[in-house]
Amino acid sequence: MLNKNTEKQKEKMLYLYTRLLGYIKVFPIAIFGSVFGYIVFAATTPATTWWLGFTVDAINSENYETLRIVSPLLCLSIVIVRGIGGFYGSYSLALLSNGVIHKLRVELMNHLMHLPVRYFDQITSGKLVSKFTYDVSQIAGAASNAIAVIVREGFTVIGLLAFLMYTDWQLTLTFLLIAPAVAKVVSVASKYFRRYSTQMQESMGELTQITNESIKGHKIIRSFNAEKFVSSKLIQASEKNRIQNIKMAITRSASTPVVQFLVAVALAFLVWLAMSPEFFSNKSPGDFVAFLGAAGLLAKPIRQLTQINSVIQRGLSASRSVFSILDENVQINTGKNEVERVRGKIEFRRVNFVYHGSENAVSNISFTVYAGQTVALVGRSGSGKSTIVNLIPRFYECNSGQILIDDVVNKDYTLESLRNQISFVTQQIFLFDGSILENIAYSDSTASREKVLEAAKRAFAMDFIRQLPEGLDTQVGDDGVLLSGGERQRIAIARALLKDSPILILDEATSALDAESEQNIQEALNNLMIGRTTFIIAHRLSTIEKADIILVLDKGRIVESGSHNQLLAESQIYNQLHSGNFETRTLDESL
């Protein structure tokens, strides 16, 4: 059982390594540069010990006068070569690691934008942000650090060992007896490194999430006097992260001296052997100095090689977290139909949809809206109104049934073409960092200033935009905090006007506004609705009364439908709703 598990673990590790390698190997020149540079760098270490021996022997040599010039020159050349190799190696490595970061970020964002909305329902934004920032940099750090240390220190060790072998291979072999012991320490430490790294990433995600929430919700926190609650949550998460970091540090700090001690034992043994008379029988004092020098220089690269393990494990565990996003299936986009502009007929045919579990959010929804008509959805909160409109642009996929746009199933359009046909205006208006102009022209950054101005005018947004210090070019600030709800709403309407799509969805577009701003917005919305098939979900009656069809929903089902006058004449439920409030009462209560 245990064996099976470790086998699987190894397989997984190997898979992660090869997948990571895939990101690295697209930069062959940078890899070659760093490997080549570091090999040159590494070669100068045994060269230095050789030079030391050479110089010691030169003192007693016959052509002492010549060597007095040669030796310092050699010293300088070694340092120059070492410098060039080191520079070339680390420069190429910087190219490599930043290339990997860039590639991963771009790939992640591309992938993220094509994941189904469902994915975002189940992951916190903080965790995602932390994957983008912390985890990606951990991967690149690990990759570049690993290459640097493995190539540079690895070749240093190889070079030194080769030099030792060359001087006395038998002695050197005894030195290598400690290798298995070192390997054991390293492998035990790896296990812990990996465990703590994964925990650390998770707690970083949590920390980011709490920080995000606290910054975004700072007003609510103040108004509810929840500072203590927030800070205790943060303290907990940060403390968890701190402890994991410490555990990681303990493992690293403990494994390094153990390895160093093992190396020192081997070195001591080596010195004892090298000081024997047999060693000197055919060697010079210079050989002795060079041999011991080389053996002594082995300690540092070996130590670094064992330390790199923690970085690699951290990188592997970060790559697992990043790859988990890349492994999420993107939304199916196999439709082939491309349309410039649909007319806007929409038909629901027995549509069922489940968020998760077994309970339908909407059941057996069938209705038809013709191009240019307005359909209003009414019903209490949670009755499935938003769900229905979210199915049209395929934010979620129906579990059964079909939605047809101009008599073509929505899945048969390409996602891009489908979404080009639809403008969404909801209660929560999201403004992006940038100017008002950029926010209005979000769907089409090439739109001319005149067109944007025209859209803003028809959305009645110019009234307030003119008052702003830089007009259309005013920066909206983080998520548009500088603008009032009504102003944001008008920007959203201008955005939709500019997009000029044949289908319009207004999901409680005016619910967040007071009655007066709603009056203003209503005119802008009327402008927006002209000539479009419109779905409208609203609280207040005035907007709904004019709709061509009204669908009354309860518990995910259409319970009544018709025009306002029809429903008023025929439907008891609608009459009850009409005299009361569309939202707050359940149908059961109003009946």
Residues that bind Mg ion (CB under 5 A): 386
Distance CA 39, CA 537 (A): 68
Burial class (CB in 10 A: 0-12, 13-18, 19+), 80: exposed
Nearest to 318 by CA among 492, 483, 137: 137
Tell me: does residue 375 bind ligand ADP (CB under 6 A).
no
**Alpha carbons 211 and 233: distance in angstroms, whole number:** 10
- Taking CB under 6 A as the criterion, the residue among 383, 439, 489, 571 binding ligand ADP is 383
Q: Are strands 422-426 and 503-507 parallel, antiparallel or unpaired?
A: parallel
In the DSSP assignment, the letter for residue 334 is -
3-state DSSP: the chain helix, strand, coil percent, rounded to 5?
70, 10, 20
Q: Report the partner that residue 382 touches, choosing among Mg ion, ligand ADP, none (CB closer than 5 to 8 A by kind).
A: ligand ADP
87 touches, from Mg ion, ligand ADP, none (C-beta below 5 to 8 Å by class): none
Among 126, 315, 384, 393, binds ligand ADP (CB under 6 A): 384
Does position 385 interact with ligand ADP (CB under 6 A)? The reply is yes
* 387 binds ligand ADP per the rule CB under 6 A: yes
Query: Which tokens in the block code for residue 444?
Result: 């089409």
Choosing from 386, 420, 534, 571, the residue that interacts with ligand ADP (CB under 6 A) is 386
355 binds ligand ADP (CB under 6 A): yes
Give the number of residues in contact with ligand ADP, rule: CB under 6 A. Answer: 11
- To ligand ADP, the closest distance from the beta carbon of 397 in angstroms equals 13
Q: Which residue is nearest to Mg ion (CB)?
A: 386
Cα gap 32→93, rounded to integer Å: 10
**Tokens (6 digits) for 152:** 């540079």
Of the chain, the end-to-end C-alpha distance in Å amounts to 62
What are the backbone dihedrals phi and psi of residue 562, each rounded to the nearest 5 degrees, phi first? 150, -175
Which of residues 26, 29, 77, 121 is near ligand ADP by CB under 6 A? 121
Choose among ligand ADP, Mg ion, none what residue 555 binds, the Cβ cut-off being 5 to 8 Å by kind.
Answer: none
Query: CA-CA distance, 241 to 200, in Å (whole number)?
Result: 6
Judged by CB, which is closer to ligand ADP: 193, or 535? Answer: 535
Tell me whether residue 379 or residue 502 sits nearer to ligand ADP (CB atom). Answer: 379
Among 39, 143, 361, 492, binds ligand ADP (CB under 6 A): 361
| Residue 381 interacting with ligand ADP (CB under 6 A) | yes
Q: Is residue 393 close enough to count as binding ligand ADP by CB under 6 A?
A: no
Estimate to the nearest angstrom the gap between the alpha carbon of 364 and the chain centroid: 38
Q: Minimal distance in Å, beta carbon 386 to ligand ADP?
A: 3
For residue 392, the minimal CB distance to ligand ADP (Å) is 13
- CB within 8 Å of 78: residues ≥ 6 apart: 44, 47, 48, 51
Residue with smaller CB distance to Mg ion, 108 or 361: 361
Tokens of 501: 């799509």
- Give the one entry of Mg ion, ligand ADP, none that residue 361 binds, where binding means its C-beta sits below a cut-off of 5 to 8 angstroms depending on kind: ligand ADP
- What is the binding site for ligand ADP (CB under 6 A)? 121, 355, 361, 379, 381-387
